[in-house]
Amino acid sequence: MHAHDQRKAPGKETPKGALAVGRPAMERPGLGPGPLSAPAALALQRAVGNAAATRVVQESRHQHGVTAVVQRAPDPGAGGPKEEAKPTEWFNATTGKWQSGKPDLEKMRPAHGGERHLLGPKLEAEFADKHYSSVDDVPVFKARMYRRKEAPGRVSASRSPELRMLDRLGRLGMGQIRPGGTPHLATSVMPNGRLGIAGNTGRNHVTAGERNNVNRELAEVQDESVPAYGERRMDKDLYKVRAAKAGDYFEGNYNRPQLGAVVNAMGNPDWSHSRVGDDNGGQAGAQHGELTLLGPHIAQWKANPHTGEQPKIVNIGGVKCACAACQWALMAANEFIGKKYGYKVVVSGGHGMLFRNWIMPKWLAEIPDARKYVEGKIKARVPGAKFYTSSSGSLVLSLPKDYREADVNQDPAESESEWEPI
């Protein structure tokens, strides 16, 4: 702008009537009853420059007896504060490499807790270089091997995922039991972390050969190179077991360590408490498999009480629901033993039938209140029912000769959800 174009600011009138030319009165931002604030100082710098702003701040300091800090405005062309680099990569747990872009959610799924745990050392060493503030912030995905079918897809709400998985393992193993053999295979993750398996004792006990065949069958179920059965119900169980082994079944079931425990136990069956080949010395009667497996659990409860606010759950699954006597025995175990030590046993329901020659397990018979509870339930249901002591010391249920039970479906409810290989 040229000098003659500049407007003269109004000022005091001189004696000769001419206007005095001078700087107009400047309103000083932020200068008032208090000291000059930092935002006001910056605004002042932008308006009048660093030197003038310093003078105003000094006046403010003298007036109010405080020290004001002047922040120099950045020189023309100087850049502002640098932005921190943002993460742009995710970790592929299948390849073990970092990848850019977004994962294809049709082919990839989030890694579950156990898979992330195994990757812990690598992620800990590299998350900062990938600009993540925490190792927990790293997106980790793994290639899918199995997926849930669109329909039907309703999942049984009456059983936990780990209990349903134990039921499947029992059913798959049951295919190796001879016709007329044990009517039940019970399954549970034992205190030693292995997959406990037990059939009923008595005349229809599991043989050593059947035990070996069940072990081989469960190993092949987990072997991707072994073809499917070609039968819908069996393949339904097969694919869910394989999906769990691959980690895909955990999607939607995160933070379920008991499901992980079932998967870890699959490859390590334990028959040590199953009484394989036990025909009770030729005597009548049968101890049912779920009560056989519960014995070691109860021993562990007593040796290691659980002190949490909620009881620790012990799942026992298998081919069949619990009979009436087993249900009452399990209720007695929870009431008279579990409450004391902080545990609770859960099974896949009951079918309500009562069987003669049912053997009461010794861990129950040795607790008077628990024994009384079960005997009372049975005698209320069947007047004339009683227990006698066999030569081996077992308590065996005797029912009147004319007592008959109406036959009912003894199998746990079938989950409608299905899975398939990709």
274: phi then psi, degrees, rounded to nearest 5: -90, -15
Structure confidence by residue, pLDDT tens digits, 360-371: 999 999 999 999
**Mean pLDDT over each residue of the chain, to the nearest integer:** 84
The Cα–Cα gap between 410 and 322 comes to 8
Is a pLDDT exceeding 80 seen at residue 5?
no
Per-residue pLDDT, 114: 84
- pLDDT for 253 equals 65
Task: pLDDT band for 208, please (50, 70, 90 cuts).
Answer: very high
- Check if the beta carbon of residue 419 is closer than 8 Å to that of residue 228: no
**Least confident range of 9-18, 107-116, 310-319, 394-403:** 9-18
Task: Give residue-wise pLDDT tens across range 221-269.
Answer: 999 999 999 999 999 999 999 999 999 998 766 668 899 999 999 999 9
Long-range CB contacts for residues 275-278, cutoff 8 Å, separation at least 24: 275/198, 275/201, 275/205, 276/199, 276/205, 276/206, 276/207, 276/208, 276/211, 277/205, 277/206, 277/207, 277/208, 278/201, 278/202, 278/205
Are 328 and 377 contacting, i.e. CB atoms less than 8 angstroms apart? yes
Quick one: pLDDT band at residue 391, thresholds 50, 70, 90? confident
Residue found by looking up tokens 């406990």 in the block: 196
- 147 has a pLDDT exceeding 70: yes
The residue that leads in pLDDT, 37 or 287, is 287
Of the chain, the percentage scoring pLDDT greater than 70 comes to 78
- Residue 142's H or E segment, with its range, is strand 140-143
User: Per-residue pLDDT averaged across 26-40, rounded?
Assistant: 44
Matching residue, tokens 């009431």: 335
**Residue 107, token pair as written in the block:** 């082919």
CA separation for the pair 179, 177 (Å, rounded): 7
Is the pLDDT at 194 greater than 80? The verdict is yes
Q: Measured between alpha carbons, how far is 147 from 251 in angstroms, rounded to an integer?
A: 10
Q: Where are the beta strands (DSSP E) in 184-268?
A: 185-189, 195-199
Write down the pLDDT at residue 152.
58
Q: Is 421 exposed, middle or buried (0-12, 13-18, 19+ CB in 10 A)?
A: middle
Q: Which has the higher per-residue pLDDT, 243 or 278?
A: 243
Contact between 240 and 420 under an 8 Å Cβ cutoff? The reply is no
Cα 329 to Cα 80, 186, 294, 410, distances in angstroms: 74, 15, 10, 17
Q: What pLDDT does residue 2 have?
A: 40
Which residues lie across from 396 on neighbouring strands?
359, 388
- Strands 195-199 and 269-270, how do they pair? parallel
* Range 385-413 average pLDDT: 92
How confident is the model over 160-178, as a mean pLDDT? 96
Q: What is the pLDDT of residue 159?
A: 84
Angle between helices 208-221 and 161-174 (to 10 degrees): 120
Asked if residue 358 lies in contact with residue 323, where contact means CB atoms within 8 angstroms, the answer is yes
pLDDT at position 284: 81
Supply the pLDDT for residue 81.
62
DSSP for residue 228: P
Show the DSSP H helices in 145-207 as ranges: 161-174
Q: Coil, helix or strand for 39?
A: helix
pLDDT tens string 297-355 = 999 999 999 998 999 999 999 999 999 999 999 999 999 999 999 999 999 999 999 99
Please name which of 155, 177, 174, 121 lies closest in space to residue 240, comparing C-alpha atoms: 155
- SS3 at position 147: strand
> Which residues, other chains included, contact 337 with Cβ-Cβ below 8 Å and sequence gap of 6+?
298, 301, 302, 343, 367, 370
> What is the reported pTM?
0.76
The residues facing 147 across adjacent strands are: 420
- What's residue 10's pLDDT? 42
Percent of the chain scoring above 90 in pLDDT = 66
In this predicted structure, what is the pLDDT of residue 389?
94
